């Protein structure tokens, strides 16, 4: 395990930021995803929204590793 201070900071970000941001982005992702079949340029948007939805996983992984913000 890495730096415990960074782990605590990542935990705070995970609880207070990432769940809300991912939940907000998930609604848009679900809405736009079926339209990517008809409108090809929306694929970039849905790929970005998927990364935002996966932000809690990134925070949890960084917390477990004790990784800094670099």
pLDDT (tens digit per residue) in 19-31: 999 999 999 999 9
- Quick: pLDDT tens for 3-14: 899 999 999 999
Give the ranges where the chain is alpha helix by DSSP (H): 4-13, 19-32, 42-53, 55-65
User: What average pLDDT does the segment 23-40 reach?
Assistant: 97
Look at residue 2 and tell me whether its pLDDT is greater than 90.
Answer: no
Q: Which residues contact 28 (CB under 8 A, 6 or more apart)?
A: 49
CA-based nearest residue to 60, from 17, 10, 23 = 10
CA-based nearest residue to 33, from 15, 45, 22, 19 = 45
Domain ranges of the chain: 4-65
SS3 43: helix
Residue 36 binned pLDDT confidence (cut-offs 50, 70, 90):
very high
pLDDT at position 69:
87
């Amino acid at each position: 395990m890495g730096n415990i201070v960074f782990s605590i900071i990542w935990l705070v970000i995970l609880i207070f930021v990432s769940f809300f941001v991912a939940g907000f982005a998930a609604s848009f992702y679900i809405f736009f995803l079926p339209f990517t079949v008809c409108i090809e340029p929306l694929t970039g948007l849905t790929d970005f929204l998927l990364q935002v939805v996966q932000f809690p996983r990134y925070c949890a992984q960084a917390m477990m590793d004790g990784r800094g913000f670099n």
